[in-house]
């Protein structure tokens, strides 16, 4: 039940983690070889050195699962220079939800941010 509530909350957050009636404000973070990443600047929240934000990846071609767009909620640790995905929602070309998950804290993976990566572009945008 708790996971379902979190998943429902993640859908509400896709409208932006901001006050009701405020639309997301997407800005381009970086262009990769097969997708473009955007940041919803209105969703950025701060807890000490951690920034939580919604990002969006638009793929040039559908992924093997059929996703053409994926929304991610990520924690960016500005001091440790790491990214941790906390939620995701995959959409097909028609906008239908293919899959979604709120990742339980015990199973989240924290990844270091490499120099010159899209992750570093995101870190620089939300931490500076």
Q: Which residues of 11-37 are buried (b: 16+ CB within 10 A; e: fewer)?
A: eebbebbbeeeeebebeebbeeeebeb
pLDDT number for residue 21: 55
Q: What is the pTM of this model?
A: 0.80
Domain segments of the chain: what residues? 2-127
Q: ∠ CA(109), CA(88), CA(118), 5° rounding?
A: 65
Question: How is domain 2-127 classified at the CATH fold level?
Answer: Lipocalin (2.40.128)
pLDDT of the chain along its 128 residues, tens only?
A: 333 333 444 444 444 344 445 788 999 999 988 999 999 999 999 999 999 999 999 999 999 999 999 999 999 999 999 999 999 999 999 999 999 999 999 999 999 999 999 999 999 999 98
The Cα 6–Cα 54 span in angstroms is 15
């Amino acid at each position: 039940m708790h996971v379902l509530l979190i998943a429902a909350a993640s859908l509400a957050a896709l409208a932006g983690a901001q006050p009701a009636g405020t639309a997301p404000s997407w800005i381009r973070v970086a262009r990769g070889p097969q997708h473009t990443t955007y940041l919803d600047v209105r969703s950025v929240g701060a807890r000490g050195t951690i920034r939580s934000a919604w990002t969006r990846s638009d793929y040039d071609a559908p992924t093997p699962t059929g996703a053409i767009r994926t929304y991610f909620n990520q924690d960016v640790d500005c001091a440790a220079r790491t990214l941790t995905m906390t939620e995701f929602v995959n959409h097909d070309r028609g906008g239908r939800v293919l899959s979604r998950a709120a990742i339980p804290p015990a199973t989240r993976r924290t990844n270091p941010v490499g120099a010159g990566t899209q992750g570093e572009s995101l870190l620089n945008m939300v931490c500076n």
